[in-house]
Amino acid sequence: MSGSAPRSRSRVLALGVALAFVAVGGQLVRLALQNEGASTIRVSMMSTPSSTLARPDIVDRNGRLLATDVQMPSLYADPHLIQDADEAAERLGRMFSGLDVRALRSSLADKTKRFVWIRRGLTPAMAQRVHNLGIPGVLFVDEIRRTYPAGRLGGHILGRVDIDNRGTSGIERHIDEVGASEAAHGARLSARAPVRLSLDLSVMHALDDELKSAMERYDAPGAAGLVMDVRTGEIVAAVSRPGADPAMAEEVLDPERIDKVAAGTFELGSIVKLVTVALALETGKTLDSLVDTSEPLKAGRFTIEDLHPLGRPMSVAEVFVHSSNVGAGQLALSAGAEAQQAFFEKLGLWSPLKTEVSAGPEPLKPAQVGRIEQITLAFGHGLAVTPLQFAAASAALMNGGTAVTPTFLVRDEDAAGARVVSARTSALLREVMRRNVTDPSGTGRRADVAGFEVGGKTGTAEMAVRGGYRKKSVIASFMGTFPASDPRFVTLIMLFEPRGQESTGGEITAGRNAAPTTARVIERIAPLLGVAAKAS
């Protein structure tokens, strides 16, 4: 009996403990059910009310980083936990410039709210400063923010994102349009493969540096340039100055910082004579065909003259090399208005050019093409297109005669487009482009670079303003190609409103500024692009 009593007491004790656990468990379940709503509030309070996107990295053609997502702290408040709304608003107002203290005070005082944004995307240093304030109810949550390691370099092409990391322009918008971004869960970064652009960051840097130097050298407030592969249509470099940092909305939206390469339309002047000569060759002329340039060309009340008239007939090649407006006008009249307009359309110069970066602006063109319009179109006045459009047309004229579709994405093979001119015409155009650089009287002679067979055409167009043109304010352009005997690339360099310098003899024409700038650019970028110099 003595042994059975302790065992009985042990069983009673164990049963008591078990019942106690059951009671505690039941109480916990009851409390959980009673506080289900409060738990939900706490969870929602810690969740951002926005729908943020996780984005893939953007890299150049060689894998160098151009854009990436990073985790950054954002600052919010739970008014339910704020002890003194006035004091909290005042202290935060001293911390952040531009903060609407009155509106914040009102929000913090509203105890029905559980989430109020204060400032999103803080730097670690700023987050630490706010943390040190020790304001109850002021809290942090990690979010995704887009950063651009190259700053303004490539900014126009990359575009920008909004506060929720959604693309609003450029390649960033394209990423969303093709479904390459995804909803972010918390601050999780994207695991998708990077978006690889056709741009070469080294070539971009060299082009940007030379444009910056040219602006200083020729006292020009703006400049733009691009480099395009004539076979694939890939844009290897595109720079517009002044640039825009994608991380700074005020710069991206500043009209003074518009992307001059793909978003601005301009009358390009005499570089359009490349198109006019191409049309002449396609309609039966040869480089040796004579054109009557002995007298100015009249159209109604207008008289077209050459800057340096020879006073005699010129060959088609001489019209190009001497950049004769009279000769170009005669060639256009000979081809006819219908053929001229059809040729512009065939080359993609009569309608907007769509790329991954933008839909492209509508070209500014005459409502009807009469005699005077035929003449002025022939030398680049009366038609305003984007520089990218004209570069694409020139690439087709240089590559053997097939159209290319410009792209800012890597394209691993040649773009086999429709034929726009014959292989013969393309070969003759390459010849005359080269002659314009090597001929002592050629307008492009200052673009020559030993060993690289540069070809090209100058263009000096008066700046168009409402109701006419601004005298002595020009866009100086040089359309280049290299190596001219078998082109791999076209370049287009533009200087906006350059001023005459002692080094240019006071002149502002493209042959004195855009042409030598092209020479400096090609000399720097050719080795980067794998184009070796030939022994002279």
Q: Residues 287-318: pLDDT tens digits?
A: 999 999 999 999 889 999 998 899 999 999 99
Dist. CA 121–CA 444, nearest whole Å? 50
Dist. CA 132–CA 129, nearest whole Å? 5
Higher pLDDT residue, 17 or 496? 496
CA atoms within 13 A on the CB side of 190: 24
Higher pLDDT residue, 459 or 48? 459
Two structure tokens written together for 393: 């047309």
Structure confidence at residue 186 (pLDDT): 74
Structure confidence at residue 412 (pLDDT): 80
Has residue 2 got a pLDDT over 70?
no
Dist. CA 307–CA 510, nearest whole Å? 13
Has residue 15 got a pLDDT over 60?
no
Structure confidence at residue 188 (pLDDT): 87
| DSSP classification of residue 197 | B
Query: Which alpha helices (DSSP H) does 218-353 contain, by range?
Result: 249-252, 273-282, 316-321, 325-335, 337-346
Stated length of the chain: 536
Which among 108, 190, 201 is positioned nearest to 152, based on CA atoms? 201
Residue 129: Cβ within 10 Å count: 12
| DSSP classification of residue 408 | S
The band of 27, judged by pLDDT with boundaries at 50, 70 and 90, is very low
Write phi, then psi, for 482 (nearest 5 degrees): -160, 150
| Beta strands 58-59 and 195-196, pairing class | parallel
User: Which amino acid, residue 328?
Assistant: A
Structure confidence at residue 431 (pLDDT): 98
Structure confidence at residue 464 (pLDDT): 77
Q: What is the mean pLDDT of the chain?
A: 90
Please identify, in words, the CATH class of the domain defined by 70-97+105-145.
alpha beta
- 8 Å CB contact between 168 and 107: no
Residue 178's SS3 state is: coil
pLDDT in tens, 66-83: 999 999 999 999 999 999
Average pLDDT over residues 523-533: 96
The CA–CA distances, whole Å, from 249 to 343, 394, 420 equal 40, 34, 41
Has residue 32 got a pLDDT over 90?
no
Dist. CA 302–CA 326, nearest whole Å? 12
Has residue 420 got a pLDDT over 70?
yes
Dist. CA 151–CA 327, nearest whole Å? 46
Dist. CA 159–CA 137, nearest whole Å? 36
Average pLDDT over residues 153-165: 95
Has residue 446 got a pLDDT over 50?
yes
Residue reference for tokens 């029905």: 112
Dist. CA 435–CA 310, nearest whole Å? 18
Average pLDDT over residues 241-270: 94
List CB contacts of 106: < 8 A, sequence separation 6 or more. none
Residue 365: Cβ within 10 Å count: 19
Has residue 144 got a pLDDT over 80?
yes
Positions marked active-site: 270
Structure confidence at residue 184 (pLDDT): 86
CA 468 to chain centre: 29
- 8 Å CB contact between 228 and 395: yes
- 8 Å CB contact between 331 and 281: no
Query: Which alpha helices (DSSP H) does 219-370 contain, by range?
Result: 249-252, 273-282, 316-321, 325-335, 337-346
The band of 401, judged by pLDDT with boundaries at 50, 70 and 90, is very high
Beta bridge mates, 482:
489
Quick one: three-class SS letters along 506-528?
CCCCHHHCHHHHHHHHHHHHHHH
Where do the CATH 3.40.710.10 domains begin and end in the chain?
201-528
The DSSP line for 434-450 is HHHHHSTT-TTGGG--T
pLDDT in tens, 201-233: 999 999 999 999 999 999 999 999 999 999 999
The CA–CA distances, whole Å, from 436 to 112, 378, 416, 531 equal 76, 18, 29, 21
Residue 284's SS3 state is: coil
Beta bridge mates, 460:
476
Q: What is the pTM of this model?
A: 0.86
Structure confidence at residue 49 (pLDDT): 54
Average pLDDT over residues 82-103: 94
- 8 Å CB contact between 314 and 324: yes
Structure confidence at residue 526 (pLDDT): 98
Above pLDDT 70, what percent of the chain? 90
Has residue 28 got a pLDDT over 70?
no
Dist. CA 102–CA 109, nearest whole Å? 11
Residue 39: Cβ within 10 Å count: 10
Give me the CATH topology for the region 201-528.
Answer: Beta-lactamase (3.40.710)
Which among 73, 83, 78 is positioned nearest to 41, based on CA atoms? 78
What's the N-to-C CA distance of the chain in angstroms?
Answer: 121
Where do the CATH 3.90.1310.10 domains begin and end in the chain?
70-97+105-145
Has residue 6 got a pLDDT over 70?
no
**Exposure letters 137-156 (e unless 16+ CB within 10 A, then b):** bbbebebbbbebebebbbbb
